Structure 1
């Protein structure tokens, strides 16, 4: 029997179809395919086409351009998790002699390494990769345009360096490592570096006439880690599930969560949209929700992968034209349609499996100065600390196993929460990165920094 969670309502499905139909018609795309993911699997697939005898299905390949970068980032995070590198390492430590070695691996992942946006002419997306056989051909004589680490500047050559880093540490071609470590474990059997039938052909649509021109399909060679891949809505739907929840065969949930954290400042032009970049993922606030994913384009193709983790909804949009449909906007709209029409049903509340008296003792109201805070113990094994009401600094904390807790987010990310006990083992106060939280505002018996006036609280007279 199909449950509500397993199937979208007819009205929702029609709204999704209407959105991609408008995008394909107004964008004058030869074809446009899309998928929506919810509850860990694809729940809807749609297609519109004006070229060919049948509608493309979830197994037809399209080129996905820069979504390839997210796959490359996953490979780099795997190297980090295995202890083969640190994200703070300069590239020179692992890949010497590039001329861009002072940039750290994290900076390359977040496009803050100062590198140029493109490789030297001719335009790499429309010419054979054989023209750029060496890294020096990709980087040119002056790889750096900006001071390292100072600003976000999107760089395709930066991901070529990351691909070369993967090859150097694995001792195998990037494509081979990708297939063995990511594609096969996740079951992405229709994702490949070269097109596999059935696949769409890439087209340029004349801007002032309803006419088309075939685009060349080039092997990008050294630039492959920045944009080579072909994939399908079916495979990218599975990849979206992985990017939201992790998969211990590839990357843990904690590591993919790290990819989704902003690692680069927003460009001034993007500040109003709240757009920034994580570790291989674009991040944007749109329609009041936080979206992560990546867009992609190569001559003849546009692609978008959009995920709202909070709504448990993701969308994939692929089309085979050089310009036309705004696929990133379409993907965001597909997510919004589902999230608003069929909001996520919360998991049932569940109590703690076991109650630790020493942790339960911490629950309740605390004061930072005169500001009231509440500490709650939750069934997921975490504690949360935040203002009793209104806005302010709040965070969840993970137990360290020694009676202390480490902040997971916001102002307190990485900060240590330490219950300080009296000689009789009762809790005196909480120390959070030097902030003292007491059971009463400016409690006299607690070591409040600066001390407490011995005359205590008073009125105006």
Structure 2
């Protein structure tokens, strides 16, 4: 798309980025890529976008029963201090552990090996109480990467290649610097000079920031984080329900400005009107990266499946790089929207639930129950069009007891009460009574 090409060129020129590569992945269109100053398949450092891969490895281990998110890290890693910090807190950056490993890594440019990193934990501070607030920590994610490697019987890089990169076909992503690597630069603030930044191997802190990748690979990765069913339909890497768990905001990153949230290893960026972008930014000397996808489930509206964007830049100071993927997703959705799927007739509601359909009242408010896509649903009569409905599934042993599986009151029960002729005449949802007419809590009706 010419509009997307222009966004990339404007960003490269205005932010003075020596090399810039961008891609948009969506299931209903061919891959779009555009590069300035670099080959389309050039590899860049992606910095902290690496953390999203480590987070997926942690959740895979959880789903395999190898750990629990509330386990202390010391249960899975022989540490000399801070072993009580939980996997969940480390993954959501709410553990309170200091940002970097002990020492001045960014002065020496020498990262510790695994033995040194663990031994130096005795000198590491807990700068905040656990669960107090968001505090970003490369050290915390490094510990998670070491734990995953130990649980799987290999290094973090070996486990990553076997469990994620290989199954998803991310052939342009690597731990080591590849042959097609781009040089990263510091661009002078007061002239057009650009000075190459030194390469840095992050050693045992690699699970937090080590990877190299291409824009095409990262756009596909962003689409996976947003819509795994479209990118990995067999669920070989991670179940969609687990990605949904990771996307739930655990904390906000700024108490005074609720503009960015953080889930389990993922950054959440609201874009208005129930649109949220999920992914991560990354920085290493001479490089910046932004990798984000747009989950359809959060919009309440039909949109592109498998929709993700990535922008990789060879300048360590051009923050426009990390804003550009959001602009690309917005522009692609607006100027080239997904096709509208035609409505087709479906199956009617089963006889057992037909008397549930229609309008009910609870707490003085009107609810509308309907049957769509093989499930009972409920929406507030005054809900805006974009708000997703509550969806119910019957229990296996009693069809008159249903579980709320998504939407409002998720997890709670809906209980049906029937008259002698089998009609549903009253319901209780999360213990609140629903009746066909508006009633007080004492059961007084206001119908004529």
- Specify if TM > 0.5: yes
Q: 1:431 to 1:86 in 2, by over 3 A?
A: farther
* Number of residue-to-residue matches in the alignment: 430
Q: 1:93 to 1:416 in 2, by over 3 A?
A: farther
Distance in 1 (CA, whole Å) between partners of 2:292 and 2:246 is 14
**Match of residue 286, structure 1, among 266, 271, 274:** 271
More deviation in 68-77 or 125-134?
125-134
Match of 2:340, SS state, is: coil
What displacement does 1:233 show?
Answer: 1.2
Distance in 2 (CA, whole Å) between partners of 1:360 and 1:244 is 35
Match of 2:123, SS state, is: coil
**Match of residue 375, structure 1, among 369, 394, 406:** 369
Match of 2:135, SS state, is: coil
- Contact persistence 1:283–1:291 (CA under 8 A): yes
Q: 1:210 to 1:352 in 2, by over 3 A?
A: same
More deviation in 350-359 or 171-180?
350-359
More deviation in 390-399 or 423-432?
390-399
| Aligned residue runs from structure 1 range 257-272, under 5 A | 257-271=244-258
Distance in 2 (CA, whole Å) between partners of 1:132 and 1:183 is 23
- Contact persistence 1:374–1:385 (CA under 8 A): yes
Distance in 2 (CA, whole Å) between partners of 1:223 and 1:41 is 37
Q: Which stretches of structure 1, 4 residues or more, deviate above 6 A after TM superposition?
A: none
State yes or no: 1:451 paired with 2:442: yes
Deviations for 1:320-358, whole angstroms, at most 9, x for unmatched residues?
111114222111111111111122333332444574222
More deviation in 321-330 or 185-194?
321-330
Unaligned runs of 5+ in 2: 297-302
Match of 1:56 in 2: 39
**Match of residue 434, structure 1, among 428, 431, 446:** 431
Distance in 2 (CA, whole Å) between partners of 1:431 and 1:42 is 48
Unaligned runs of 5+ in 1: 1-12, 50-54, 443-447
More deviation in 17-26 or 40-49?
40-49
Q: Return the TM-score normalized by structure 1.
A: 0.86
Q: CA RMSD in A?
A: 2.5
Deviations for 1:400-456, whole angstroms, at most 9, x for unmatched residues?
4343333344551222223234555432322221111122222xxxxx8x5324xx5
Distance in 2 (CA, whole Å) between partners of 1:218 and 1:266 is 28
Q: 1:175 to 1:434 in 2, by over 3 A?
A: same
Match of 2:200 in 1: 218
Q: 1:38 to 1:399 in 2, by over 3 A?
A: farther
| Aligned residue runs from structure 1 range 23-422, under 5 A | 23-39=11-27, 42-49=30-37, 55-57=38-40, 59-124=41-106, 127-130=109-112, 133-136=115-118, 139=121, 141-246=123-228, 247=232, 248-271=235-258, 273=259, 275-286=260-271, 288=273, 289-310=275-296, 311-312=303-304, 313-352=307-346, 355-379=349-373, 381-390=374-383, 395-402=390-397, 403=399, 404-409=401-406, 411-422=408-419
More deviation in 297-306 or 211-220?
211-220
- Contact persistence 2:42–2:180 (CA under 8 A): yes
Match of 2:205, SS state, is: helix
What displacement does 1:43 show?
Answer: 2.8
